[in-house]
A and B are shown apart, each in its own frame.
Chain A
Amino acid sequence: MLATALLIAFSLVILALLLSFIRLAIGPDVPDRILALDTLYINAIALLILAGLHFGSSLYFEAALLIAVMGFVGTVAFSKYLLRGDIME
């Protein structure tokens, strides 16, 4: 039961990753690509938590937390770059 649910969930999330990746590739503008990257981070977090459930290990949690933190910093840095032309003030 749980194994089947995990299998379905894995396919759905991988499809989501693929769609975000297509948006990252076709753009058309810079903000679209930033948004696609941000969505990729969140999809990757979902995938990691699913992997943790599948292998019954809580080690994947650390990686997911790191992606969440670094992804947010990355998105903010990209947006700041667009807003001001440089990242640090």
Chain B
Amino acid sequence: MLEWILSALIVIGAFFTLVGSIGLYKLPDFFMRLHGPTKATTLGVGAILIASVLYFSFTTSDISLHEVLITLFLFITAPISAHLMAKAALHIRLKRVGRTREPADN
């Protein structure tokens, strides 16, 4: 039973990590590419880390929780780095895809 849950978590996590990179590879402009990695990878790495917590807690005698630190850290830092990268891209006036709607008053 545990093995099924672990396997499912691992494959789901790896799949979302891949989706993030596919988004990075195929979307047409920078601001759209930003969405792939910031979202898909947090859940992707999160699922793999939960699998790691379960695995080490059940195979060894004591509970292993330190993987939670990486998840916590990624959930705090991913939006911050996304925000900074977007700000930098706006600052150097990176071009967007033509169909992007601009804010009403800018």
Which residues of A come within 8 Å of B, CB atoms?
1-2, 4-6, 8-10, 12-13, 15-17, 19-20, 22-23, 29-32, 34-36, 38-39, 42-43, 45-46, 49-50, 52-53, 56, 58, 61, 64-65, 68-69, 72, 75-76, 78-80, 82-83
Contact = CB atoms under 8 A, between A and B. Distances in A.
Interface of B: 3-4, 6-8, 10-11, 13-15, 17-18, 20-22, 24-25, 30, 33-34, 36-37, 41, 44-45, 48-49, 51-52, 55-56, 59, 64, 66-67, 69-70, 73-74, 77, 80-81, 84-85, 87-89, 91-92, 94
Contacts of B81: 38, 72, 75-76, 79
A39 B94 contact: no
